[in-house]
Chains A and B, each alone.
Chain A
Amino acid sequence: ETGVTQSPTHLIKTRGQQVTLRCSSQSGHNTVSWYQQALGQGPQFIFQYYREEENGRGNFPPRFSGLQFPNYSSELNVNALELDDSALYLCASASSGDTQYFGPGTRLTVL
């Protein structure tokens, strides 16, 4: 069974640019969530997708958007990058159970 994978591992962008992060969920998992973890902080919930629809969102502006595909993989898009967007972005997948399984994350640096 393949776990949650994310790409790329690291990414460097400049302020104002746009970025796309990708996540492949664990086999059989139809729900994907994205979290932002700033340095020295706990992860913060960005949003959740279930069967290609966003069905939950945290306190993040609209320039954070996402997609979920029919194979349940997902993308996180961030427009107009700001310095404070520098963080580890974690993807987590779940099925009908009560546990989310996290990927290794993408480290985004905004210069």
Chain B
Amino acid sequence: AQSVTQLGSHVSVSEGALVLLRCNYSSSVPPYLFWYVQYPNQGLQLLLKYTSAATLVKGINGFEAEFKKSETSFHLTKPSAHMSDAAEYFCAVRNAGAGSYQLTFGKGTKLSVIP
């Protein structure tokens, strides 16, 4: 069974500071890993994904994440936070097998950006 753990349900950073959102996964097979962002009263928008190519993945809005198999981690980072980054962020895992797109999500981390 797959699972995702996001450490910290709420993270606050100052504008311009580093953003680090943590995600650890559990999977018995090689995983595909995703980060999604959700703004209030909206659906999920894909930030970036890891699908067994490069371990450092760059996404939209200046975000990136590094897949570390030895640590079973896929932490999301951004060098400099912007006010518009305030949202909820979800890490998700999917089996790298054909046919099923089923995603297992973490509980989310709400990011607040302080001016």
Contact among A42, A48, A104 for B102, CB-based, below 8 A: A48
Rounded to whole angstroms, the CA-CA distance of A55 and B113 in the bound complex is: 41
Of B12-20, B44-52, B65-73, B74-82, the one touching chain A: B44-52
Q: Is B103 an interface residue (CB 8 A)?
A: yes
Interface flags, A29-47, vs B, CB<8A=1, else 0: 0010101000011111100
User: Which chain A residues border B4 with CB–CB below 8 Å?
Assistant: 42
CB distance from B43 to the nearest CB of A (A): 4
Contact among B36, B51, B92, B101 for A94, CB-based, below 8 A: B101
* Most chain B CB neighbours (cut-off 10 Å) among A40, A44, A45, A92: A45
**Do the beta carbons of A31 and B101 come within 8 Å of each other?**
yes
**Do the beta carbons of B102 and A56 come within 8 Å of each other?**
yes
**Do the beta carbons of A99 and B44 come within 8 Å of each other?**
no
Q: Is B84 an interface residue (CB 8 A)?
A: no
Within 8 A of B (CB), among A83-111: 90, 92, 94, 98-105, 107
Interface flags, B24-64, vs A, CB<8A=1, else 0: 00000000101010000111111001010000000000000
CB distance from A27 to the nearest CB of B (A): 17
Please name the residue on chain B nearest to A50 by beta carbon.
B99
Q: Is A28 an interface residue (CB 8 A)?
A: no
Q: Is B107 an interface residue (CB 8 A)?
A: yes
Contact among A31, A45, A58, A102 for B36, CB-based, below 8 A: A102
CB distance from B64 to the nearest CB of A (A): 17
**Do the beta carbons of B45 and A42 come within 8 Å of each other?**
no
User: Which chain A residues border B36 with CB–CB below 8 Å?
Assistant: 102
Rounded to whole angstroms, the CA-CA distance of A43 and B4 in the bound complex is: 12
Instruction: Supply 15 A–B pairs (Cβ within 8 Å), ascending by A.
Output: A33-B101, A33-B103, A42-B90, A42-B92, A45-B102, A55-B100, A56-B99, A56-B100, A56-B102, A98-B51, A98-B94, A102-B36, A102-B43, A102-B44, A104-B42
Residues of chain B whose beta carbon lies under 8 Å from any beta carbon of chain A: 4, 32, 34, 36, 41-46, 49, 51, 90, 92, 94, 99-108
| Closest 5 A/B residue pairs (Cβ) | A42-B105, A102-B44, A102-B43, A104-B43, A56-B100
